[in-house]
Amino acid sequence: MKKREKIPTTKRWVVKIGSALLTNDGKGLDTTAIAGWVQQMAELRNQGIELVLVSSGAVAAGMRRLGWDSRPTEIHQLQAAAAVGQMSLIQTYEVEFQRYGLLTAQVLLDHDDFSSRQRYLNARSTLKTLVNLKVVPVINENDTVVTDEIRFGDNDTLGALVANLIDADLLVILTDQKGMYDSDPRSNPDAKLLSEIAADDTRLEQMAGGTGGALGRGGMITKVRAARVAARSGADTVIVGGRIENALMRIAAGDDIGTFLWAAQQPQAARKRWLSGQLQTRGTLVLDDGAVRVLRDQGKSLLPVGVTEVRGDFTRGDMVVCVDQEQKEIARGLVNYHADEARKIIGKPSAHIIEILGYQDDAELIHRDNLIVS
């Protein structure tokens, strides 16, 4: 049986629409296209499918309204464009969904909403409540306040994190390509469209080389990475051309369009998904070979004795990366000690912590419950 044949049984979708589609490659909001996608989403909702929409397009729409021909580089201009564009974007969705008697809700998220455990759970509860009330949440990154240092990087990543957040069955990424090819179709006329492939297939990085267009921040590689993030909660991903007629309805019917990336791994527990979704790290711990084996093979906590070097300035509760002697990432997790404290106790048995520091909060640098192995 084909993997995509199970799509008709999925009940909770996250649909992400990219900037190039929404603005017709920068010509302003394509209200006709938006009306078509909304009509399909309304039909899906009538079929019992729960929907959350992740929409790009605020900056591009704002640029159009402000009369700007090229994407600005100054962060405050980008934030201003996002603020202007968000108004018309949400108004358009509200009007179109109202035609079918569906309510919408605007939800703006930033990295802090995912890195703070309390805000993460609040966002999860709010979105699930909206979905249960048959409201369609329209989600975008809060571009008016974020900076490059704290942004998600692209709305493909945001869509995947939202899929984890609400335990979605399927992430649908609507793009300006028909799907994912085995090579770049813009430079290789013989490139073949992939029908189905596991999200964790190691060949995908090479196939997905290249970046996005001038309006968006994502490329095909970001969509592959998004599929892998979505797979953490067991969600499958479809990358499909948004201009294909009735694309969403055809996906729901199990038609062979776009590229289906199935989740091959077992879903992570909710807390582990929250940890995985944190994009900001504050420092690095370099591990010896023994610690690497313990983390990978035995799933145990990271003790100070297995760490050879501490880099960066972090405090208790921050996310840090663990690397081996060749600087390859092994894991990441929430650290139990400040960087200065960690530097004093690394390489020493945990029994010596109180002697070195004068106190002991934890025996571990990172407890296994707060650790994600790569």
Express each pLDDT in 308-354 by its tens digit: 999 999 988 888 999 999 999 999 888 999 999 999 999 999 999 99
Q: What CATH number should be reported for the domain holding residue 135? A: 3.40.1160.10
Residues 333 and 248 in one domain: no
Letter for the amino acid at 88? S
Instruction: State the pLDDT confidence band at 135, using cuts at 50, 70 and 90.
Output: very high
pLDDT of residue 79: 87
- The one-letter amino acid code at 28 reads G
Same-domain pairing of 302 and 211: no
Question: Are 91 and 187 contained in the same domain?
Answer: yes
Looking at the structure, do residues 170 and 32 belong to the same domain, yes or no?
Answer: yes
In this predicted structure, the answer to whether residue 216 has a pLDDT above a threshold of 70 is no
For residue 147, the model assigns a pLDDT of 54
**Number of separate domains in the chain:** 2
The answer on 215 and 296 residing in a single domain is no
pLDDT averaged over the chain? 87
pLDDT for residue 273 is more than 80: no
Asked if residue 169 has pLDDT above 80, the reply is yes
pLDDT for 152: 52
Query: Which domain, by its residues, includes 127?
Result: 3-273
Co-location of 228 and 285 in the same domain? no
- 129 pLDDT above the threshold of 70: yes
Q: Which of 207, 239, 273 is the last residue of a domain?
A: 273
Final residue of a domain: which of 220, 246, 273?
273
For residue 214, the model assigns a pLDDT of 40
Give yes or no: residues 341 and 246 share one domain: no
pLDDT above 90 covers a percentage of the chain that reads 51
Q: Are residues 365 and 267 in the same domain?
A: no
From 273, 296, 328, give the residue that closes a domain.
Answer: 273
Considering the domain architecture, whether residues 12 and 151 belong to the same structural domain is answered as yes
Report the pLDDT value the prediction gives residue 209, as an integer from 0 to 100.
Answer: 67
Here the CATH number for the domain that contains residue 323 is 2.30.130.10
pLDDT at 211: 43
Percent of the chain at pLDDT above 70? 93
Q: Which of 115-119, 213-217, 233-237, 288-292 has the lowest mean pLDDT?
A: 213-217
Q: Same structural domain for residues 116 and 227?
A: yes
- Domain shared by 356 and 223, yes or no: no
Q: Give the pLDDT mean for 42-63.
A: 92
For 276, list phi and psi in degrees, rounded to 5. -60, -30
Is residue 24 within 8 A of residue 33, CB to CB? The reply is yes
Q: Identify residue 261 by its one-letter amino acid code.
A: L
Please give the pLDDT value at position 213.
44
Task: For residue 295, report the phi and psi dihedrals to the nearest 5 degrees.
Answer: -70, -45
User: Given a cut of 90, is residue 96 above it in pLDDT?
Assistant: yes
| Cα–Cα dist 223/241, whole Å | 13
What is the pLDDT, as a whole number, of residue 97? 98
- Judge if 169 and 54 occupy the same domain: yes
- Report the distance separating Cα 142 and Cα 58, nearest Å: 10
Q: Give CA–CA dist 232/269, Å, rounded.
A: 9
Query: Looking at residues 39-45, what average pLDDT do you find?
Result: 97
Nearest to 82 by CA among 173, 90, 35: 90
